[in-house]
Amino acid sequence: MEFIDIAIIGGGPAGLTAALYAARARAKTVVFESALPGGQIVTTDWVENYPGFPDGLSGAELGDLMHKQAERFGAEFRTFASVEKIEPLDLDFKLVADDEEFMARTVILATGAVPKKLGVPGEAEFTGRGVSWCATCDGALFRDKIVAVIGGGDAAIEEAIFLTKFASRVHIVHRRDELRATKCIQERCFDNDKIEMQWSRVVKEVKGENGKVSGIVLASTSGEPDLLLPLDGVFIFVGVDAKSELVTDLCDLDERGFVKIDHNGLTSYPGIYAAGDVTDSELKQVVTAAAKGASAAFEALRYLDSRLCSI
C-alpha cells in the first residue's frame, strides 16, 4: 500500500494549485484525476479573466501550464484513476482507486461539479446526437447549422458566442427577460448578429427525426403559447451539481449538495479539506478555485505539522 501525505482528488484548477503548494512544501503529494489534468477548464475555448494573461489563453493551455508547474515541484499524478471510496482509519484515510489502496494522512477534495440536466423528454434520447453540454467539444459539428443555447449566465453566453464561429444561427433560450451574465459578456452577445434571443422561455421537450435533434418545444414563462423551434443542436448550460458523493457520509453538505467549508477550506471532518466548484463558495471561477486550492493545501500542511509536533 502506498503512503501519501496529501491526497488530492481532482485535477482541475483547484486541485492543481493545491498540488503545486503541497509539493513545493516537500509533502508527498498525489493527484487522482479520472480524466486528463485540467478539469472542465480544458473544454473552455478562451479564458480572458485569469490574471497574468492580458490577451487571454485557451482553457486547455491554462490547464496544461498548471499541470506542468505542479509536476515540476514533484507532485505525482494518477491519471484516469477514479477514487471510489474514502475510509477514515484512526487519523489517516484509506483511498480505494481502481482496485488499488492508498493511505493518506490528509485529503483535499477538488472533484468539481458537473453540468445540470434539464430533465425533459428527448434530452437523454438525443444526448450525443444533437444534445450537448460542451460547445468547445462539439461546436465544429454544427457548421452552418442552427443551434440553441439554454441558459443566461456567463458560461451560457460565452459558449453561445463561441458557437457563432460555426453555426449560422444561435438561439439563446432564457427563462427570464434579462440575462444574468456579466455586462461585458452581454455586450458582446448583443453585438453579434448571429445570436437571437428567446426571452421568457424554457425547454419543454427535445424533438428528433432520423435519430438526431430536429427542434425544441419552448414553453413560455409569461403566458404565451408554446413555440416549436426547428434546429440541429441544443447546448445546455443551466448550472452545475457538486460531485460530492465521496464525502456524503463524512462532511457537512449544503442543501444543494455542495461541501461546506470555512474560509481556509476545512470541512467538518478533521483532515479533509475541499476547494473549487465542489464547495459551497459562491463565486465559481478559475481564479477563485486556484485561490481556494492554495488555502486548502496550506491548511493541510499545517495540519500535518501539528500532528508531527504532537508525536
Catalytically annotated residues: 134, 137-138
Cα(86)–Cα(177) distance, integer angstroms: 45
How far is 71 from 252, CA to CA, in rounded Å?
Answer: 32
Q: Where are the beta strands (DSSP E) in 221-311?
A: 227-230, 233-236, 240-242, 272-274
What single-letter amino acid sits at 136? T
Q: What is the three-class DSSP state of 46?
A: coil
Residue count (the chain): 311
Positive or negative, the CA dihedral 39, 42, 47, 50 is positive
Residue with cell string 509533502: 27
Pairwise CA distance, residues 117 & 114, whole Å: 9
CA 311 – CA 147 distance, rounded (Å): 62
DSSP string, 180-231: -S-HHHHHHHHT-TTEEEETTEEEEEEEEETTEEEEEEEEESSSPPPEEEE-
Helix (H, G, I), strand (E, B) or coil at 253: strand
